[in-house]
Structure 1
Amino acid sequence: MSQQIRKRNKKSNTPIENSNIIDESISLKKKITTIQQQSNDPEYKYHIVLATITAIGFYLRFIKLGTPDQVVFDEVHFGKFASYYLERTYFFDLHPPFAKLLIAFVGWLIGYNGKFKFDAIGDSYIENNVPYIAYRGLSAIQGTAIIPIMFLTMKTLGFQVQACLLASLIVCFDNAQVVDSRLILLDATLILSVALTIFSYCKFSTFRKEPFSQKWWTWLLATGVSLSCVISTKYVGVFTYFTIGIAVIHELWILLDYKKGLTLQEFSKHFLARFWALIVVPFIIYLFWFYLHFAILIKSGPGDAFMSSEFQETLLESPLAQNSKQVQYYDQITIQHKDTGANLHSHSHVYPLRYEDGRISSNQQQVTCVDVEFPEQDPNNQWEIVPVKADDDGKKGKDVYTNDIVRFKHVGTGGYLLTHDVASPLKPTNEEFTVVFDEKIESRYNETLFRLRLSVPGSSPKKQNQRRKIKTLATDLRILHMDTVVAMWTHDDELLPEWAFGQQEVSGNKKIQDKDNVWTFGKVTNLDKNDQRSKYIPKEVKTMPFLKKWWQLQGLMFHHNNQLSSSHPFASQPDTWPLALSGVSFYNNNDTKKQIFFIGNVIGFWLEVCFLSIYVGIVLADQITRRRNYHLLSDKSRSRLYNTLGFLFIGWSAHYFPFYLMNRQKFLHHYLPAHLIAALFSGGLAEFICSDNSKDSLNINNKTKKIKMTILVAIASIGIIWFFFYFKAITYGDEFLTPEEVKARQWLDIKLHYAK
């Protein structure tokens, strides 16, 4: 334009003509400036839309927050951990402590004592007086806060109201995001921390021309604190570090250019400022949460077995540990099943010769499990632990260790426990347990031998083979049969018929590593008053440096994270996540036929994939055309394409593609941070597509751009909102659906219950 003006000036010979041309040029520049100033919406529009979408998000996350009033999915873990914090009892978990401490803090604020342990999905909150709505309210508040932060991030990046609305709306009405924001889980904290990190770094970038100013430092430190919250919640937060790290490296690379006029000393200040704010400060905060974790958990608890003996000596004995006694040979003990709480039992009654299905039994003495309050009062619940060699008095008073081979003599009837190659009553694939007496003991001696194997969840075979002293109440065991290599097991999903008085079946499980094969020794019933074990001697508590504790726990957390490679019915691979091809059953109630199924909003997920694909196409087209010297995009449009949208695209990639390298169990919820960033990206690319980005354009047709954006956002919103409400019943778990309605919602690979 300026070249045309200069050419016309050369041809003109009169001052009047020159004056008219100059006036025309000034007028055109003013017009362009005015239109560019009008390209952003007025502030009041942002405020109105922000308040509206936030209110909707609040409503969707808080409505029916108390439904269901039972333990749902992984609430069994994170609710339990909060209870351990409140009781100050040591536990072990794979995730850092920040989000769990937040949940426990809510319990502490309302004065809850942590008595309820969230043992099983479906346990009633109402019957156990659990403040579960307060716990869930924490997640709901965090889930709601994500929405305005996304909106403000888009506004900070210079996008118009429609783009801000589209990005926020995708997450606001996403079924998966809503489910994770209504339960006692860590994901709401994780996603909020990711959103805060992206927002803080975007705000920091707006002050890059004011280095080391107060606002520059404020938002740089805010980015570091947010990063610390991400990594202190779950270790997948390292992907957020990748995102910010790539952006920081790119920025430092630009500052290193001599054309920027920075001396090496000035560049070093920029580098050290970022190193301090984004690495040192977050690491100090990260360590602080572990310091708080150790300071609170001072009592012995279920996590002891994971830690070294040196660490265990730093813990006070819990009431459980105080009542725990060292088990010795010829002790008479009760044996309790870990999952069902029932006690190993036998009586003089025998198995029927034939079962109801016609199978033949051994017709020998029954071995069952009973759930009674005081099992030690009935000799039929008591078993004497006997050494391998009969009448080995040299073992009397000697401690029993894990990995020892022992026999169990039934106190009530005098026989020895055994299992053999006879099908059990209810599980034909399992072995029957019975009791054999002295007259047959010689011929069946090998069948009475059992190995006491240490049970530590997720541990290696080497650790399970360790020899440790066995204590009542405190040592988890697998009781393995030496002759047939099965594990003693019981269950309460189906009880034995009247001939066994409706008691639980005991059988030999060939899958010895199953997590429900675990037993504990309950109480020594023949403990003499003169026995030293009957006297409680307080344990001497020792100290251990904090960093040594932290390093030990850190190594164990990484190790057990890598061990999570077993199959799971709802595990999925990353290639199914962007299109929401899989989900997870969180809860189902067989009585009311209501269920919660964790699945993303398919319309929103697919829309994001479309925008991500379009972006790749635009970038490839731009690169190819520029190779042929066709510059189709303006400099401003290319900057937005590669810098603003490129940053968000890298953020999505960094939170998604690394999962392909992991061998551990993976689930759809691992995609939610990437989904959040993809929503930001989608809103931004939608505005880019609706704009006139050509090089020759002055981008002055703002009205047309707004009309295009309004239509696009309206169509997308209708689809996203419709899907959310169509699947609302399995998002909130508050409605009964007929089998026909369930089948109508079994899209893609959604495996819903009650569809028959």
Structure 2
Amino acid sequence: MSNGYSSGISTHDDNKHISHRHNKQLDENSDVEIEEIIDKTSKLHINKPDNKLDFTHPIFIKIINPLILTAISSFVRLYRIEIANYVVWDEAHFGEFGSRYLKREFYFDVHPPLGKLLVALSGYLAGYNGDFKFDSGVVYPDDVNYVFMRIFNCFFSILVTPLAYRTSVLLGFNQFTCWLISIMVIFEQLSLTLSKFILLDSMLLFFTVFTFFGLVNLHALNVKNKLLTKSGLKWSIITGFGVGCVCSVKWVGLFITAVVGIYTVYDLLIKFYQTTTTKTLSWRTYLLHWSVRIFTLIIIPISIYISTFKIHFMVLNHTGPGDGSISTLLQASLIGNDLQSGPRSVAYGSLITLRSQGLSPNLLHSHGHNYPEGSQEQQVTTYGFKDDNNEFLIEFDVTHGLANQHATLVDENSTDIYHIEVKDGDTIRLNHRKTGSYLRANAINAPVSTNNYEVSCFGEIESNDYIDEWVIEVQVQEKSPSPDFQNEDETSIHPVSTNFRLRHKQLGCYLSTTGSAYPAWGYNQGEVVCKYSIFNRDKNTWWNVEKHMNDKLPDPETEYVPPKPKFWKEFILLNYGMMAANGALLPDPDRFDKLSSEWWEWPILHTGLRMCGWGESDIKFFLLGNPLITWLSTLGLGLFAVYCLVVGFKYQRQYEVSGDKFFQGLIIFMAWLLNYVPFILMGRVKYIHHYLPAQYFAIFLFGFILDRINFGRLRWVVYGVLYVGVIATFIYFKDLSFGMEGSSKNYSYLKLLNSWMI
């Protein structure tokens, strides 16, 4: 029993082991077969024939597509770029500024230096020496390689296209939309025409687009919570670099800067909520976000902007036609100036010019035109150019005049009076040499700054009116670095180095600038008033003698060495002067400007601009956007408003909406809005090219709307029609950008609207 039982158990176990080994072998064989099947199927391309290209492959999106689009953009922008061999439109300005850099002659302009420095760089690379004057309409001489300089400028416009494509991809648009936006950017004729000349507009557009591209990258990283990674820091620096450059080309770069700023503030508010309410973000991380933004989006742009002015001052170290708008000390530091000559002490009878130390550092000026209201006496202004109307003679007070003593009249019996120095506390009169009238303050409201008193010139040399008297109040004596001039009398008035105030003896107010400009009747020159100022550090009430002539006084034995100008002071003064000059660019109501236009005309393409002469022998360019692109992009603005209503309705009904897509649309719309609305509010004269950055974002907004629409099987048809329409419209209007030869009557068929002066 026992043995039998044991034998039975053993047999059963043996069978069990055999069966287990068999099953294990089957499993191993099955595993091998499955691995072989996986390996084979992984190498198959299901539904993708080997001979079919994948246009959504990264190599196309990152390399091939941008290269194709860039090549097309290069062709249309470089084609016939040399055809107009004469100075066209604002090439007269920016070409001349480039020449000033090459000759190192100081000039003044309303725009920051970066764009003009790049123009100068193009001239330097082209072998241009700066001697050509860039007079409008003048044919370029053989030694000016204007074609190279235009190509250099055009390069910035060409690069806008690949940036537009990459921005579209980053925003998540489908490839149909990405190509449509890129094609619209290529054949948009406003930017295309401007790109063919030596102007700042292509640089401005490029840096605007570059900054927006950086912002879109930041947003994409922000959505993934990767702003504090290396990639996030890189794109923050790139965006800050773009902000610094765009503001250093033109001040309208502040508009795209505002877009970056609003986005940044909004994001930091959200993160503040996450830190204080939801507790999903630590204070350390939140403060780190602040630190990164401050460094990359504030410190870096400001550093770039300041650096361009530092380079500006370093390069322009010779006197030039624009030095009438800068401080006396900065002028004195320029090679070739004549401010070091002349006697070192101002005396009665001296011929002088007076420069304001305020934020509008121009010369005191008067001319033979009267105020239309108020005293209706001779106007007194500040002027940024040197001429005879800036010259005044220092006369004794009225008491001396009543005693028949005049420093400004030749009196052979009273030669000693020409040696009396003007000192602190003296009462003087200032006689305008050209008209013979005296500077005075009137107890009536100034014409612009009505809370101050009017300043005028009135009377004649032998007049004796106490209203003409001013009291000298010395404020600061700037020290010369030369030991020969460091012991000058600190109570005397010295040209260049003495800062003083002029207090009206009767009214007690001070001769002052305001930074405002007179209307057209005052030739848009700077306003001069008499104002009450309790602070003696009010620089608007400070003046200095710039030019000094008195042949009765001895010249210094050695040449005077003026104090060195302070960079920060000159930087602030120059920027304020630029702001004042921009504010003075007002339209003249008494004069029709056929080139200017209004903000409402741009989105509907109501008008264009003749960029040159319109004779039969002239090659003519008409600055006008591509009609189809402009009108479609304007339509996109209206469609976006409808889109917002639809999204709001869905949100209210609790339908699912794409919050990030909607937010992307808002960023694009905000970029258009902030690049357009400021021109509505501006009082300055405006031109169609001011719409250039806004037009770019309007194109993107149209693409955004199309991308949100599901066309289904009609997608190929819709986008195909748009592609063909954009290109066909460009071909039809191409001569406006490529140049019209012969009579303008031959191109009358291009005049779709009667307001187009073709």
Q: TM-score range by the shorter chain?
A: 0.5 to 0.7
Which residue identity does 2:660 align to in structure 1?
A: S
Partner of 1:563: 584
Measured after TM superposition, the shift of residue 269 of structure 1 is: 1.0
2: CA distance between counterparts of 1:201 and 1:744? Answer: 39
Match for 1:661: what amino acid?
A: L
- Compared with structure 1, are the counterparts of its residues 290 and 588 closer, same or farther at alpha carbon in structure 2 (3 Å cutoff)? same
- Kept after mapping to 2: 8 A contact 1:67/1:734: no
Q: C-alpha offsets along residues 462-506 of structure 1, whole Å, 9 cap, x if unaligned?
A: xxxxxxxxxxxxxxxxxxxxxxxxxxxxxxxxxxxxxxxxxxxxx
Amino acid at match of 2:117: L
Distance 1:68 1:322 in 2: 46
Residue 537 of structure 1 and its aligned partner are, at CA, apart by 9.0
Specify the alignment match of 2:601 in structure 1: 576
Aligned to 1:139: 153
Q: Tell whether the 8 Å contact from 2:612 to 2:620 is kept in structure 1 after alignment.
A: yes
Conserved? CA contact 1:585–1:598, under 8 Å: yes
> Alpha-carbon deviation of 1:121?
1.4
Alignment match, 1:500: none
Change (3 A) 1:260 1:60: farther
Following TM superposition, by how much is the alpha carbon of 1:625 offset from its aligned partner in structure 2, in angstroms? 4.7
Corresponding residue for 1:597?
Answer: 622
Q: Report the Cα distance in structure 1 between the residues aligned to 2:614 and 2:141, rounded to whole angstroms.
A: 16
Asked if the contact 2:116–2:200 (Cα under 8 Å) also holds between the matched residues in 1, the reply is yes
C-alpha contact (below 8 Å) 2:340/2:561 kept by paired residues: no
Give yes or no for contact 2:616–2:741 (8 Å, CA) kept in 1: no
Supply the distance in 1 between the matched residues of 2:186 and 2:340 (Cα, whole angstroms).
50
For these two proteins, the number of residue pairs brought into alignment is 529
Measured in 2, the distance between the counterparts of 1:402 and 1:151 equals: 66
- Offset, 1:626: 3.7
Partner of 1:266: 285
Distance 1:555 1:630, change over 3 A: same
Indicate how the Cα distance of structure 1 residues 195 and 536 shifts in structure 2: closer, same or farther if over 3 A, else same. Answer: farther
CA distance in 1, matches of 2:96, 2:717: 48
Quote the offset at 1:39 in angstroms: 12
Pick the aligned partner of 1:186 from 181, 188, 200.
200
Deviations 1:160-182 (A, max 9, x none): 22111111111210111111111
Aligned to 2:110, what secondary structure does the other structure show? coil
- The answer to whether the Cα contact below 8 Å between 2:610 and 2:622 also exists between their aligned partners in 1 is yes
Question: Are the aligned partners of 1:687 and 1:709 in contact in 2 as well (CA < 8 Å)?
Answer: no
Distance 1:728 1:609, change over 3 A: same
CA positional deviation for 1:681: 2.1
Q: TM-score, normalised by structure 2?
A: 0.63
Structure 2 counterparts to residues 358-373 of structure 1, below 5 A: none
Alignment partner of 1:80 is 2:74: no
Structure 1: which 4+ aligned runs deviate by more than 6 Å? 320-324, 530-539
Instruction: Identify the residue that residue 160 of structure 1 maps to in structure 2.
Output: 174
Write the distance in 1 (CA, Å) between the matches of 2:730 and 2:125.
34
Show the counterpart of 2:140. 125
Contact 2:332 2:339 in 1 (8 A): no
Task: Choose 558-567 or 537-546, whichever is displaced more.
Answer: 537-546
| Contact kept? 1:167, 1:681, Cα under 8 Å | no
Larger Rg: 2
User: What is the DSSP-based 3-state SS (H/G/I as helix, E as strand, rest coil) of the residue aligned with 1:212?
Assistant: coil
Report deviation, 1:596: 1.0
Partners in 1 of 2:334 and 2:715 — Cα distance?
A: 61
Distance 1:708 1:544, change over 3 A: farther
Confirm or deny: 8 A CA contact 1:139 1:189 kept in the other structure. yes
**For the Cα contact (< 8 Å) 2:163–2:210, is it kept in 1?**
yes
Q: After superposition, what is the alpha-carbon deviation per residue over 1:118-176, rounded to whole angstroms, capped at 9, x for unaligned?
A: 1x31111035x222112111221001000000101111112122111111111210111
**1:659 and 2:679 equivalent?**
yes
Which residue pairs with 1:297 in the alignment? 316
SS where residue 185 of structure 2 aligns? helix
Question: Of residues 34, 50, 68 in structure 1, which corresponds to 2:84?
Answer: 68
Superposed CA deviations along residues 264-283 of structure 1, whole A, max 9, x for unmatched, are 22111112211211011110
5+ residue gaps, structure 1, are: 1-33, 330-388, 408-445, 447-509, 516-529, 692-703
Return the offset for 1:532.
11
Q: Which amino acid aligns with 1:670?
A: H
- Mapped to 1, the partners of 2:89 and 2:253 lie a distance apart of 22
Cα deviation 1:520-546 (Å, max 9, x = unaligned): xxxxxxxxxx99999999674541111
1:602–1:203: structure 2 CA closer, same or farther, 3 Å change rule? same
- Separation (CA, whole Å) in 1 of partners of 2:613 and 2:245: 33
Question: Would you say the 8 A contact 2:640–2:701 is kept in 1?
Answer: no
Query: Which of 43, 58, 66 is matched with 1:43 structurally?
Result: 58
Tell me if 1:554 matches 2:572. Answer: no
Q: Structure 1 residues 589 and 623, CA, compared in 2 at 3 Å: closer, same or farther?
A: closer
User: Residue type of the partner of 1:191?
Assistant: L
1:63, distance to aligned residue in structure 2 (A):
1.1
Contact 1:585 1:597 in 2 (8 A): yes
Question: Deviation of residue 242 (structure 1)?
Answer: 1.3
Identical amino acids, percent of aligned pairs: 27
1:140–1:744 distance in 2 versus 1, CA, 3 Å: closer
Give the structure 2 partner of residue 410 of structure 1: none
Cα distance in 1 for partners of 2:122, 2:340 equals 29
Tell me by how many angstroms 1:253 deviates. Answer: 2.4
Q: Conserved in 2, the CA contact under 8 Å of 1:220 and 1:278?
A: yes
Cα distance in 2 for residues equivalent to 1:720 and 1:260: 51
Please name the residue that 1:224 is paired with.
240
Selected match of 1:404 from 410, 433, 451: 433
CA distance in 1 between partners of 2:270 and 2:182 (Å): 32
1:719 equivalent in alignment to 2:719: no
Instruction: Note the alpha carbon deviations across 1:1-33, whole angstroms, 9 max, x for none.
Output: xxxxxxxxxxxxxxxxxxxxxxxxxxxxxxxxx
Partner of 1:745: 751
User: 1:329-357: CA deviations, max 9, x gaps?
Assistant: 9xxxxxxxxxxxxxxxxxxxxxxxxxxxx
Q: Which amino acid aligns with 1:635?
A: V
Contact 1:45 1:161 in 2 (8 A): no
What is the alpha-carbon distance in structure 2 between the residues aligned to residue 682 and residue 664 of structure 1? 30
Distance across 2 between alignment mates of 1:295 and 1:571: 36
